[in-house]
Structure 1
């Protein structure tokens, strides 16, 4: 009997896995739900398992992969930064992800954070709740159509955000070494170098995956290139942005504000970026809609079924991909 161990993380739905696997795999597949969270727990819970379906908080390390006899690791997300993809390939383990289940949701959330910060919705709401009624509570507010918005990385989510932002008549620029200028131009976006992105942009949305190359790439130097009316939005991974540098820029009023769906530590413990008047933080929820959650689980389950059936899953991660 095949066996799959699913993280108890709430976005992973064991009933959907049972339904899909029963339809697509001949013979029974045992589904077990476990509280993961660490490599040690993965080793303990997945002993003898064929598949592990992991979450954002659980590292699947080289040590865990060597200790187990897995056939597939499903990362229930777009990114795979907490899975050692190279070690998995060495062990003959397929790693899959679900790259497009929440493209529209994350793009919409990023634009929502940008507009909420740019239009000072949080300070306005706080002012009214405290008995005030002043347009000056959120000043200064700049016109969206007079701004330049920079997109850091230009994968499917950033591309969808560009389509949404096009309606606001803002100038759009992007930096991504893996996307050529012609493809960006199809979205009305100009390709620029990293430094030029921060020199020219009034506001920046961060969409880059977390890799060795992108960790901390939005640092003090990059933030210093922005203006005092600038907004930084991050819907990628917390560590892509240097949290200390961002806090310092906010404390010094060097930028207007930040909209963050991701933090360096999740959930946060005494994070000084949380609770600030100039910072809007959401709980890594940009991915969420009921439709996206269903797509996530059906796609992940279909990948498990494909591997158990000896086929290549749709969500397979190429261990030699340039972006890893």
Structure 2
């Protein structure tokens, strides 16, 4: 009998895993749901398991992998920054993710954050609630069609966002060392190096995965290249943006605002970025729709089934991928 441990995380639906695994795997599969959240809990809960479906809060470390006898680690997300993919490969453990389950949702969310910040919707709403009625509280607002929007990383989500923003007639530039200029051009986007992007962009969306190379890459120097009407949106991972530098830029009013779906610590504890008039913060919810949640669970369950059946899962993470 195979054993699969699922994190007791709201994104993960045991019923979907049971439905798929009962149908797709020949041998009986025991499913356990456990509260993870730490390496120690993972090691305890996944003892004797063939596969574990993990959440964002659980570090899957070399130590954990060495003390378990897993065949697969399924990351219920796009990113795998909490999984030691190299250590898993060395131990013959397949790591999978769901790269496409929420592309539309995150793209739409990022554009929504950009437009809400750019159009000062939070400031206007708060002003009207307080019995105000002045357009000036939203200043400065730049016309979208007269703006340049920059993308830090240009994967599937950023590409979908570019298609949506293109409808507003903004100029588009992107930084991504792994994407060629002609591929960006297919989306009406011009390739730029990192500093050039921040020099040219009026507003910046951050879509980069969290790696050693991207941690803190949007720093004080980058933010200083923007101006007082600029908006920064982050829908990737909180630590890709230097939180202290972003706070300094907001407090000094060298940028207009920020739309954040991710923070350095989640959920936040006394994060000064949260309770500000010039920020809109959502609770790492950009991925969410009912359809996306169903896709996430079905793709994860299909990947588990493939590993248990001795097959290569569709969501397998290549440990030699350039972006890791």
The two structures share one fold, judged by TM-score above 0.5: yes
Q: CA RMSD in A?
A: 0.4
Identify the residue that residue 97 of structure 1 maps to in structure 2.
Answer: 97
Where does 1:97-136 land on structure 2 (aligned, <5 Å)?
97-136=97-136
Identify the residue that residue 276 of structure 1 maps to in structure 2.
Answer: 276
Is 1:236 the counterpart of 2:236? The answer is yes
CA shift, 1:196, in A, is 0.3
Identify the residue that residue 146 of structure 1 maps to in structure 2.
Answer: 146
Deviations 1:113-161 (A, max 9, x none): 0000000000000001111111112111110000000000000000000
Q: Provide the rounded CA distance (Å) in 2 between the counterparts of 1:5 and 1:179.
A: 37
Deviations 1:159-208 (A, max 9, x none): 00000001000000000000000000000000000000000000000000
Give the TM-score taking structure 1 as reference length: 1.00
Q: Provide the rounded CA distance (Å) in 1 between the counterparts of 2:122 and 2:275.
A: 11
**Where does structure 2 lack aligned partners over 5 or more consecutive residues?**
none
Deviations 1:256-301 (A, max 9, x none): 0000000000000000000100000000000000000000000000
Identify the residue that residue 257 of structure 1 maps to in structure 2.
Answer: 257
Where does 1:51-200 land on structure 2 (aligned, <5 Å)?
51-200=51-200
Identify the residue that residue 40 of structure 1 maps to in structure 2.
Answer: 40
Instruction: Give the ranges of 4+ consecutive aligned residues of structure 1 lying more than 4 Å apart after TM superposition.
Output: none
Q: Provide the rounded CA distance (Å) in 2 between the counterparts of 1:57 and 1:111.
A: 26
**Where does structure 1 lack aligned partners over 5 or more consecutive residues?**
none
The aligned length equals 324
Q: Provide the rounded CA distance (Å) in 2 between the counterparts of 1:24 and 1:103.
A: 26
Identify the residue that residue 323 of structure 2 maps to in structure 1.
Answer: 323
CA shift, 1:243, in A, is 0.1
Deviations 1:57-101 (A, max 9, x none): 111000000000000000000000000000001111000000000
Where does 1:212-251 land on structure 2 (aligned, <5 Å)?
212-251=212-251
Q: Provide the rounded CA distance (Å) in 1 between the counterparts of 2:55 and 2:218.
A: 25
Report SS of the residue matched to 1:196.
helix
Give the TM-score taking structure 2 as reference length: 1.00
